[in-house]
Amino acid sequence: MDRKELTEKIPVHVAVIMDGNGRWAEKNGVSRLSGHNAGMLAMKEIIKRADIMGIRYLTVYAFSTENWKRSQEEVGGIFNLLVKYVGSELAELDENNVRVRILGDWRQVPKAAVASIEKALDTTKNNDGLQFNIALNYGGRQEILHAVRSICERVSSGEIGVSDVTGAMISDALYTGEENGNIPDPDLIIRTSGEERLSNFLLWQCAYSELAFTDSLWPDFTPDEFEAIVHAFAGRKRRFGGR
């Protein structure tokens, strides 16, 4: 198959659960934070390849609502890395016309990270290239709860009735909905590190997503492996409940 034929089947939205930084660190005899740093470097390369491949939306799971259970040192270190990443990469992302969006309750993360995020959102707000969504302080159940509450408010104020509530209204009220320009559901979700679960990621949106799992630990995950998985996906038949 030539490249053009493949790109015609390229998924619109690919989401990635970047898992295995800690195990990578252990395997290499370095600190967990060095593992997260290596993970950040891997992420940079995946963004570039996704862009080259013509993927429109790339979503990465960077920090879950459950990750606060980790040590203060690790949590603080992860957010410091995010600040460092935005500081060193924002200009290049902007030059490449990448639009950054954040999914999750990101205003509750440490102040320096909130400031970096605001800068990234503002700097890239007029870009219309690859949309790079970072799920940060993100939880799928929390997202659904947040959406349900906002719809309940509309019902209790009398704006709409109970029978007016639709699935589309729920989709619109999610982080992937109106507040972030209506991101289509992921066509493909990839998880690294050999774990085969979603860990509270995009629970509403994953209804018909293809799932791909690889044993590679996230810092070892290469753009070539990413591309191979995406191409394998292109060959799968999605039926959406039909025949």
220 forms part of the interface with Mg ion (CB under 5 A): no
**Residue 62 partner contact from Mg ion, ligand IPE, none using kind-dependent CB cut-offs of 5 to 8 Å:** ligand IPE
Give buried/exposed letters for 211-243 (b at 16+ CB in 10 A, else e). ebbbebbbbbbebebbbebbeebbeeeeeeeee
Please give the structure tokens belonging to residue 158: 């009398």
Angstrom CA distances, 234 to 16, 111, 198, stand at 16, 41, 21
Question: Quick check: 187 binds Mg ion (CB under 5 A)?
Answer: no
224 vs 53: CA distance, rounded Å: 11
Q: Which does 150 bind (CB under 5 to 8 A by kind): ligand IPE, Mg ion, none?
A: none
Catalytically active residues, by annotation = 19, 67
Minimum gap (Å) between residue 193 Cβ and Mg ion: 6
First-to-final CA distance of the chain? 26
CA distance 93 to 103: 18
Nearer to ligand IPE, 42 or 100 (CB): 42
Q: How far is the CB of 23 from Mg ion (least distance, A)?
A: 8
Minimum CB distance to ligand IPE, residue 203 (Å): 13
23 binds, among Mg ion, ligand IPE, none (CB under 5 to 8 A by kind): ligand IPE
CA distance 134 to 100: 8
For ligand IPE, the closer of residues 130 and 190 by Cβ is: 190
Cα–Cα distance for residue pair 98/132, rounded to 1 Å: 7
Nearer to Mg ion (CB atom), residue 19 or residue 143: 19
Minimum gap (Å) between residue 179 Cβ and ligand IPE: 21
| Shorter beta-carbon distance to ligand IPE: residue 17 or 230 | 17
Q: Please say which residue, 37 or 64, places its beta carbon nearer to ligand IPE.
A: 64
Which residue has 């879950």 as its token pair? 64
Distance, in Å, from the CA atom of 28 to the CA atom of 223, rounded to the nearest integer, reads 21
Number of amino acids touching Mg ion (CB under 5 A): 1
Closest approach of ligand IPE to the CB of residue 144, in Å: 17
Alpha helices for 28-71 (secondary structure H) = 32-53
Work out whether 19 is an interface residue with Mg ion (CB under 5 A).
Answer: yes
Residue facing ligand IPE at closest CB distance = 22
User: Within 13 Å of residue 107, how many CA atoms lie on the same side as its CB?
Assistant: 0
Q: CA 185, CA 147: separation in Å to the nearest integer?
A: 16
Per rule CB under 5 A, is residue 210 in the interface with Mg ion?
no
Q: Which residues of the shown chain bind ligand IPE in the complex (CB under 6 A)?
A: 17-23, 61-64, 67, 78, 193, 195, 197, 199
Binding site for Mg ion (CB under 5 A): 19
